[in-house]
Homo-oligomer: A and B are copies of this chain.
Amino acid sequence: MTDSTSTPPASLASRSWWGWGAAAQALPDAECTALGALVPGSASTPLPVPDIAHLELPRVRVEPPPALAPLMSAAPEDRAAHTYGKAYRDVVRALNGDLSAAPDQVAHPRTEQDVVDILGWAADEDVAVVPYGAGSSVVGGVEYREDRHRGVVSLDLSRLDRVLEIDRVSRAARIQAGALGPALEAQLRPHGLTLRHFPQSFEFSTLGGWLATRAGGHYATLYTHIDDLVESLRVVTPVGINESLRLPGSGAGPSPDRLFLGSEGTLGVITEAWMRLQDRPRHKASATVLFGDIHAAMDAVRAIAQSGLHPANCRLLDPGEAALAGVARDGESVLVLGVESAHSPVGERLAELVTLARDHGGSPTPTGPGTEDAAAGTWRSAFLRMPYLRDALARMSVVTETFETACTWDRAPDLYETVRRRLGDVVREVTGAAGTVNCRFTHVYPDGPAPYFTVIAPGRRGDEVAMWDEIKSEAMRILTDHGATVTHHHAVGRDHRPGYDRQRPEPFAHALRAVKQALDPAGILNPGVLVDPAAAG
């Protein structure tokens, strides 16, 4: 066995190995049962959470050389915690004790040189390396599914968690890729600065993960993806370290950073980045607007997205989603608006936004600047609690998962109606129950929204994953048929490969395979994600 003194940082010790986030936040059995009762047809008792000590893990096939041994662990708890991401299908499989995809080793590099050394060894030994930030992937991004390597190492970057340098004048910081959201914000706060990238997974995902997957953050408009916050990247590739120049803007050839943003660990391991920061907001205001008609609400959101007013928050919840979050009843849609600024009062801007919403038939619940209105607060609590509720429902064999997309405004109403209708049909066929298909717009652009769908239906114990896969497959087909992307901010991973392969232009796919071959000639980096190796010869 390898050095068992290699344990994850203390801050991670309390993490759930099978479900979302902090183990202590998981709902107790009684609450799972109560929650399951809200979904007619679901199981009457929760699936038990297995004890790792009683689970069978596959044999460890590779051992690190002595120089790397102190960085690696083959302890069952480490391997189990690094087997899956946090998709619904991951949680169900973990609950079922299926750890057949567990990595052989979990590496915890302490330095960039450790990363270089591990990649060098893995390439020599034909060992696959799966870069791992904090494992919040919901698309199979951290789960090895091939059968073409001698072994698999999960490369956990959580020890590279420091803010290394701050440039107060340019408002930028050099940050290590393994830093979790709260850790990096805590290091920026004393300087009055913030990255202000707050995905739902904020507490349990890392800067490197955000960059590798082109994550979407807090802002509903303007700066939505992490891409725009990047000044430069430092990436360990198997053929050398790729460090781009720190630049506020450039037109020198295709952007080097944009090749690695979204590369999902297939082209290299991001070890650090210079990130653009912002002053901490001092002025905030929010408001809620109710709509009797979802299409009127969409028109309002479009007008707002095209107004140049750049609200920080502009989330539209459809009637089902609003009811689920407890912020509306009676079939109303809810628009939650927020404006923020570090420099200027925002009351007037909020008033303009509310006026636009009212012009499109909305009924505002006005609030003054500096206050958070009740519906917005309720919705935010529900938002952060959602993954834990999802896990509780999973334990009750409820099929419950989300998928998200983006499309232009001309297609959005039809896409919304089609997903609701056809997916409703599929849910009925697959589960035998009505279920619910809800939608919210999480981000909105002048040329289109990013709809985010939630499916909830009672499943059959033992068939949950197959049932979800069938529903998801139809969802992907509808998205592709409507020219919508298979993912706006969750990434492609392995789960979205079929849809991604259809969506991606073929010459670009050809180019990407060439890049893969050039940067990762041994084909060890996150195999199966995004691209397959080019045919030999």
Interface centre among A245, A252, A262, A519 (most CB of B within 10 A): A252
**A102 interface hit (Cβ, 8 Å):** no
Would you give the shortest CB distance from A298 to chain B, in whole angstroms? 11
Would you give the shortest CB distance from A531 to chain B, in whole angstroms? 8
Q: Are A240 and B409 in contact (CB under 8 A)?
A: no
**A449 interface hit (Cβ, 8 Å):** yes
Known: A308-B341, A408-B167, A447-B171. A245 touches B514 (CB 8 A): no
**A2 interface hit (Cβ, 8 Å):** no
From 131 to 173 in chain A, residues with beta carbon under 8 angstroms from any chain B beta carbon are 167, 169-172
**A88 interface hit (Cβ, 8 Å):** no
Q: Are A253 and B530 in contact (CB under 8 A)?
A: yes
Q: A243: nearest residue on chain B (CB-CB)?
A: B505
**A187 interface hit (Cβ, 8 Å):** no
**A250 interface hit (Cβ, 8 Å):** yes
Chain A 98-140 per-residue mask, 1 if CB under 8 angstroms from chain B, else 0 = 0000000000000000000000000000000000000000000
Q: How far is the CA of A344 from the CA of B303 in the complex (A)?
A: 13
Q: How far is the CA of A485 from the CA of B257 in the complex (A)?
A: 14
Would you give the shortest CB distance from A374 to chain B, in whole angstroms? 27
From 230 to 276 in chain A, residues with beta carbon under 8 angstroms from any chain B beta carbon are 231, 235, 237, 239-256, 258-264, 267-268, 276
Residues of the B chain whose Cβ atoms lie less than 8 Å from the Cβ of A507: 235, 237, 239-242, 268, 519
Known: A507-B242, A508-B259. A485 touches B250 (CB 8 A): yes
Q: Are B253 and A170 in contact (CB under 8 A)?
A: no
Q: Are B450 and A488 in contact (CB under 8 A)?
A: no
Would you give the shortest CB distance from A67 to chain B, in whole angstroms? 24
From 434 to 457 in chain A, residues with beta carbon under 8 angstroms from any chain B beta carbon are 443, 445-450
From 461 to 496 in chain A, residues with beta carbon under 8 angstroms from any chain B beta carbon are 483-492, 496
Q: A509: nearest residue on chain B (CB-CB)?
A: B256
Q: Are B503 and A513 in contact (CB under 8 A)?
A: no
**A60 interface hit (Cβ, 8 Å):** no
**A390 interface hit (Cβ, 8 Å):** no
Q: Are A254 and B245 in contact (CB under 8 A)?
A: no
Number of interface residues of A (CB under 8 A): 94
Q: How far is the CA of A496 from the CA of B249 in the complex (A)?
A: 17
Q: How far is the CA of A258 from the CA of B250 in the complex (A)?
A: 13
Would you give the shortest CB distance from A273 to chain B, in whole angstroms? 13
Q: How far is the CA of A19 from the CA of B250 in the complex (A)?
A: 27
Q: A496: nearest residue on chain B (CB-CB)?
A: B252
Q: Are A343 and B514 in contact (CB under 8 A)?
A: no
| Contact among B172, B249, B276 with A443 in the assembled complex (CB-CB below 8 Å) | B249
**A54 interface hit (Cβ, 8 Å):** no
| Contact among B243, B263, B409 with A253 in the assembled complex (CB-CB below 8 Å) | B263
**A29 interface hit (Cβ, 8 Å):** no
| Contact among B237, B408, B517 with A172 in the assembled complex (CB-CB below 8 Å) | B408
Binds B, one of A208-216, A315-323, A375-383, A421-429: A208-216
Residues of the B chain whose Cβ atoms lie less than 8 Å from the Cβ of A267: 511
Q: Are A254 and B262 in contact (CB under 8 A)?
A: yes
Residues of the B chain whose Cβ atoms lie less than 8 Å from the Cβ of A488: 249-251
Q: How far is the CA of A515 from the CA of B56 in the complex (A)?
A: 44
Q: A167-B408, A170-B447, A251-B487 are in contact. List 8 more A-B contacts (CB 8 A).
A: A169-B408, A225-B249, A235-B507, A240-B510, A247-B406, A268-B507, A276-B446, A514-B517
Cβ contacts A to B, 22 pairs, < 8 Å: A169-B408, A169-B409, A170-B410, A214-B251, A231-B447, A242-B505, A244-B505, A246-B483, A248-B406, A248-B445, A248-B449, A250-B487, A251-B485, A252-B487, A253-B512, A254-B261, A256-B504, A258-B258, A267-B511, A308-B344, A511-B519, A514-B517
Of all A-B residue pairs in the complex, the 6 with the closest CB atoms, nearest first, are A248-B448, A248-B445, A514-B518, A258-B258, A214-B251, A242-B507
